Amino acid sequence: MNYKPDDREQVYLEQNMIKFSSVLRNLGFRIGTSEIAETISALEHIPLLDKRAVKAALRATLVKETTKAPLFDRAFELFFTLPESLF
């Protein structure tokens, strides 16, 4: 069963996708508003509390060049890791 965010959480999710997309753009990924919308739509169909499923959905919608997949993986791990677990 998929977790369905409430309105406040949905806004937070969308803001995070915009921020993460910006990080990826700075790393050379070509991401427009349609990719962001596609990503948010994809997240509606997976369990948001499953980090592996979220990563797979974002990777499928945002990585267009296979050579950039390792860079995406590293950016994802850094962006979606709790700060206290980095130490």
Domain boundaries, given as residue ranges, for the chain: 7-81
Q: In whole angstroms, what is the distance from residue 68 CA to residue 74 CA?
A: 10
pLDDT, block means (10 residues), the chain with 87 residues: 71 91 96 94 89 95 96 94 65
CB-based burial, 6-39: b 16+ in 10 Å, e otherwise: eeeeeeeebeebeebbeebeeeebebeeebbebb
* pTM over the 0.85 mark: no
